[in-house]
Amino acid sequence: MFATLSDRLTATFKNLRGKGRLSEADIDATAREIRIALLEADVALPVVKDFVAAVKERARGEEVSGALNPAQQVVKIVNDELVNILGGETRRLRYAKSGPTVIMLAGLQGAGKTTLAAKLALWLKEQGKTPMLVACDLQRPNAVNQLQVNGERAGVPVYAPEPGNGVGDPVAVAKASIEDAKRKLHDVVIVDTAGRLGVDAEMMAQAAAIRDAVQPDEVLFVVDAMIGQDALTTAQAFLEGVGYDGVVLTKLDGDARGGAALSIRQVTGRPVMFASSGEKLTDFDLFHPDRMASRILDMGDVLTLIEQAEKAFDQEQALKAAQKLTGQGGEFTLDDFLEQMQQVRKLGSMSKILGMLPGMGQIREQLENFDDREIDRVAAIIHSMTPAERANPKMIDGSRRARIAKGCGRTVSDVNNLVDRFFEARKMMMQMARGGGMPGMPGLPGMPGAGAGAGKRSSAKQKAKQQGKGGKRRSGNPAKAAQQAKADAEKATTKPNPFGLPAEDVDYEAAAENLDLPKDFSKFLK
């Protein structure tokens, strides 16, 4: 969503690189480019003015003039100000001290309230809560049915005594749902309310009546991040008509400019609490201002990536794969390779995963054109192999490759590429797992096995290699091998000669007396 803004800001900061000192003209030019970038991203004008003024004031201060790298300091200032207008700190849900926590959703029709209700319920369920959904949108056709279907997908019960489609009293349903939740021991109640295509008095009155009936602990305003400046008008109207505690942004995966997301916190004074960025029920999480600012500045969002990986990855499988890569649990096979790819697939699309890494904005076009079906093609090739071939890919010769290609509907060159890439990937992963770093690079300190123990293992390997080249070879005859071992043991106990000559007993004091030294040379021996 913030691609245009991110690209513009990145280009602006490139112009500052290499400057040991920033002049007044540099600061003004940078501020002008930032202003244009924000306006093009559809950020509200008052927010743009405050943002640029704060950046200019700090850029002229001591923190930049005294910095070793002024350009990086300006990037830090912009990052800090972005975090500030996005809310500063992560705002979390407030739970009721007694009884069920009631969360009411409000917003226009089409903002995604019903889907978001199920996403929030699933998220709360993963946090150890026992939520219940309440169908109070009785106007929109099939709204009740949609909530029931989404609730079933999330594994969360839905309270829907009325069929909807214009039938039923939403205020009575909301009031009765609280008693039902207490009776069934649900600790969170999520109330889905009706919306309209635009702000009107009837919708506001109904939402206010539901709010008064259930006395919610949190009222969340759900807004479509793609509707631009109109989002601010709607947010202000709901704030005055119903009131709310936090904002939920939906459709953050869209291609709109996203300025509303940057403006809504500053204009309404209410924090953005959650963000939804996809169609799946799992595409939902807390909104972290610092991480969003980092994404906008193309510095990645590694923390979110790690959190998603921890939820998606099977720890036991990952441990087994790691042991195989270090040579402790057998050999890393194509079956293990496929399992790892399938676990990565659980994180979502590859373009989304790679987009969370720093600097990926520079290859955004390639990421957008990445074909996620490539993983399916790889899986088809591996499944066409026999268990023995997957366990030992070295046995896959020409005739086997032809059979595998025919079995999965791919070409022989596709099979060749997969096998070659597997061996290269396994070699690289084994080297990294053992602390060898990337190929062609020395082991990095802090990597597993890259400490003193790694140096000892390396020197031991070199020593063994040298002994293998220059040492005596053992006989295959057991009797001769025993004689050689005995001779080597006797040789090891003999006092070595310091000059590398054959070992023998030498009286060094007597030898020194027999030396024919020049006159007065003895003083140098004292």
User: Domains of the chain: which residue ranges?
Assistant: 3-85, 101-299, 312-433
Does 112 show up as a binding residue in the annotation? yes
Same topology for domains 101-299 and 312-433, yes or no? no
pLDDT of 225 reads 76
Does 192 show up as a binding residue in the annotation? yes
| Helix, coil or strand: residue 218 | strand
pLDDT of 249 reads 86
CATH class of 101-299: alpha beta
Does 114 show up as a binding residue in the annotation? yes
In this structure, which CATH number among 2.60.40.10, 3.90.550.10, 1.20.120.140, 3.40.50.2300 belongs to the domain 3-85?
1.20.120.140
Length of the chain: 526
Does 474 show up as a binding residue in the annotation? no
Does 107 show up as a binding residue in the annotation? yes
Consecutive H or E run containing 135: strand 131-136
Low-confidence ranges of the chain (pLDDT < 70): 1-4, 18-20, 62-68, 228, 254-258, 261, 298-330, 348-372, 432-481, 486-526
Does 262 show up as a binding residue in the annotation? no
pLDDT of 280 reads 83
Task: Please tell me the distance from the alpha carbon of residue 495 to that of residue 347, in angstroms, as a whole number.
Answer: 65
Does 326 show up as a binding residue in the annotation? no
Does 291 show up as a binding residue in the annotation? no
Q: Which fold has domain 312-433?
A: 434 Repressor (Amino-terminal Domain) (1.10.260)
Query: Distances from the Cα of 242 to the Cαs of 25, 118, 209, 221, 438, in angstroms?
Result: 47, 22, 9, 10, 57
Does 200 show up as a binding residue in the annotation? no
Which residues make Cβ contacts (< 8 Å) with residue 368, sequence separation at least 6? 351
Does 397 show up as a binding residue in the annotation? no
What phi and psi, each to the nearest 5 degrees, are found at residue 278? 175, 180
What phi and psi, each to the nearest 5 degrees, are found at residue 190? -110, 115
| Intra-chain end-to-end CA distance of the chain, in Å | 84
**E strand spans, 138-178:** 158-159
pLDDT of 42 reads 77
Pairing of strands 101-106, 218-224: parallel
Does 108 show up as a binding residue in the annotation? yes
pLDDT of 197 reads 74
Does 440 show up as a binding residue in the annotation? no
pLDDT of 293 reads 77
Amino acid at 133: L
Q: Let me know: does 249 contact 226? Beta carbons within 8 Å.
A: no
Does 252 show up as a binding residue in the annotation? yes
Give me the DSSP letters along 245-274. SEEEEE-TTSSS--HHHHHHHHHH-PPEEE
What phi and psi, each to the nearest 5 degrees, are found at residue 214? -105, -10
Strand order in the sheet with 272-276: 158-159, 131-136, 188-193, 101-106, 218-224, 246-250, 272-276, 284-286
Does 193 show up as a binding residue in the annotation? yes
Does 196 show up as a binding residue in the annotation? yes
Does 82 show up as a binding residue in the annotation? no
pLDDT of 464 reads 44
pLDDT of 31 reads 86
